[in-house]
Structures are given as structure tokens and as C-alpha cells.
Amino acid sequence: MIIWKKLTSAVPQKYRFGKQYQIIAFFTKGKRPRIFHRLRIDLPLEPHHKFERENGVYATDLWTDIRELTAGYFAGDEALRDEDDNRLHKQQAPVALLTRIILASSNVGDLILDPFSGTGTTGVVAKQLNRRSINIEIDPKNVEIINMRLKDDLGGDDISELRHYYRFTKKLDKIWPSDLVKEKRDVHGSLLQFLDKSRITEKTNGNPS
């Protein structure tokens, strides 16, 4: 089990403490996973730590360094929005989260399955890491978004800058070849450049795929 601690304030609850984390299940068939890469990350220095770590630290089962995409301005350029600046999906997963999951548990060329794809972040990250993916989604609006994100390179989906964060990982080039990293972009792409709001209106007939 992995605990992903959210960085923004939890929503207050009337009869219980506000939840500020998300549980990520980590299952294996048998005692050992078929693939597991020990990732070393350049974790930001905590206020009570005196010295920088020259070689980073191993990622543990407590993830405190990945920011969620909130409904407010903290969501940044990565959050998908319509022409009225409304979020297209309030539970959109950040690319940084799927980058860590896919890097740790797969090799180049492997097949990644996401049976509840939402807006397709798993497929978007898998494509950039040279993995294949199967993305299953029942909502026709989300299927439109997934197809658009996989077809076009949106600036907010680019994971290139994250590679430096994992530079201390042993044999990083094997699981994330450097030739897959794109040059840094000056302008972040916007979904509005590619997505016509009228195309994602809910369909009443037809197969969502």
C-alpha cells in the first residue's frame, strides 16, 4: 500500500477529520513482483534537515512530493479545462504520479492496462515512456479527451522535465531512455487549441470507443 499525501488543504468534514491523502494499492502475484525498479528521487530538503543528499533518496511508500491537480489555481497548466476555464475532470491524475508508478513497475515496451482511464493520463505517460497501453473508459466525453491527448502533444502533459528528478536512479537509461526526452518547451499547450467543446457533449447513442 502506498500513501499519496496531498499538498493542499483537506476538505473539512463535519463528523471526522478531513482526508488529505489517497491510497494506492500495490499488488503482486506471489511474494515478489515480476518487475520492480528501485527509484531514487531528488526529494526536496525538509526544514529540519541540515545537509543536502548528494545521491538523492529511495522512493518509499509515502509520497509527499507530488502535487495533486486541485480545482483552484494550484492546478496549473496541466489541468484540462473547457472554453469557460472549467475543469473537465475534477479527479484528473497528475502526470508526475503516473510517471512514478509506470517507471517503478514496467520496462520499455511493456503493456500497461488502465481499466478506469478517466482523462487518459496513464496512456499519455505510457506513450512518452515508450510503453504500450490499453485504456478503458465508459464516459463518451472522457473518451474524446483521451483520444485527443494521445493524438496531440499538449504542453501540460510533457514529462521531460521530470527525468532530472530521477537522475540518481541506477540504470535510468534502461527504463527511461534519454532519447525519449523532448526539448523543453517555451509555451504550454492548451486543450482549447485542440478540443471543440461541442464535440464532448454527452452522446445518447453509439459506442463510446
Q: What is the pTM assigned to this prediction?
A: 0.80
Question: At residue 194, does pLDDT exceed 90?
Answer: no
Confidence tier at 76 by pLDDT (50, 70, 90)? low
Which secondary-structure segment (H or E) carries 100?
Answer: helix 95-105
Q: Which grid coordinates belong to 3? A: 500513501
175: region left, alpha or beta (phi > 0 left; psi from -120 to 50 alpha): alpha
Are 19 and 10 in contact by the 8 Å Cβ rule? The answer is yes
Residues 6+ apart with CB under 8 A from 10: 17, 18, 19, 20
Scan for cell 548528494, then name that residue.
54
Q: Which of 32-46, 121-135, 136-150 has the largest mean confidence?
A: 121-135
Q: Where are the alpha helices (DSSP H) in 106-160?
A: 121-128, 140-151
Residues 6+ apart with CB under 8 A from 125: 95, 98, 99, 102, 159
Q: Which of 98-102, 141-145, 203-207 has the largest mean confidence?
A: 98-102
Per-residue pLDDT at 77: 66
Burial of 182 (0-12, 13-18, 19+ CB in 10 A): exposed
Per-residue pLDDT at 75: 53
Scan for cell 512518452, then name that residue.
128
Closest C-alpha to 95, from 198, 196, 192, 188: 188
Would you tell me which CATH number, out of the four given (3.40.50, 3.30.750, 1.10.10, 1.20.1540), belongs to the domain 2-201? 3.40.50
Per-residue pLDDT at 200: 40
Report the amino acid identity of residue 183.
Answer: E
